[in-house]
Amino acid sequence: MSDRSGEHGAPGLSSGGGADAGTAELADTPESWPVEGREEHFKGRIVEVRTDRVRMPNGDTTEVVQRDVVIHPGSVGVIGLDDQDRVLLIRQYRHPVGRLLWEPPAGLRDVDGEPPWRTAARELAEEAGYRAREWHTLVDVFTSPGMTNERVRVFLARGLSEIPEEEIDFERIHEEAGMPVAWVPLDEAVAAVRRGHIHNPLAVMGILSVYAARETGYRDLRAPDAPEG
């Protein structure tokens, strides 16, 4: 199957990648190199896997190379912060890495048309049993851009309150059953990240981002519905 879309970004036509390129505003920019062909290998419950044949620069000319791509619906994560500067973490079994990981509440963007912060609020309720009064965008990331298009937005949630038992209308199953919830002082969480004791990427990025945001009095946080670049 051939896909020639995006040829405006053909190799050799972009600006050079020198030290001064793009420094007027340090920001990632959209780019699309020509795809000469595509082979789809697998479609599962969450991800798809394909191989693209991409035309890329090679000296003064170009060449076609193969790149395996994992297609992912995207995710959200929530760093809950209380008035005592504690972050809310859950502990969840992750089969691919064979570990119990400390993580923020998180989940897939698997509801069509649902704003990401609404997805995050739902995950905060379902995984931790809390709701938040105040929401901000904390950080946007591509988790592993060399192999997947998964993008994650991590939110900061404050003004948290526990959801009364009689209002909980869902049941946790599988990995989510019996997950412990812990409130960890932010400084201790940062130290755990730096010691290599916390490995979940949303936890690492979120904890360090909240720590940095605290240094500026949370003045530069974006709105929960801020555009994704």
Which active-site residues does the annotation give?
176
Name the helix (H) or strand (E) containing 191. Answer: helix 186-194
Amino acid in the structure at residue 186:
L
Bridge partners, 135 (sequence order): 157
| CA separation for the pair 52, 71 (Å, rounded) | 12
User: Distances in Å between the alpha carbon of 76 and those of 7, 121, 138, 170?
Assistant: 31, 10, 11, 19
User: Distances in Å between the alpha carbon of 114 and those of 5, 110, 121, 122, 133?
Assistant: 28, 8, 11, 11, 19
Q: Which residues are CB-neighbours of 205 under 8 A, at least 6 positions away?
A: 139, 141, 154
Displacement of CA 24 from its chain's centroid (Å):
26
| CA separation for the pair 11, 31 (Å, rounded) | 10
Whether 84 and 188 have beta carbons less than 8 Å apart is answered as no
Query: What is the 8-class DSSP label of residue 148?
Result: B
- Reported as half-sphere exposure (CB side, CA atoms, 13 A), residue 176 has a value of 15
| CA separation for the pair 209, 211 (Å, rounded) | 5
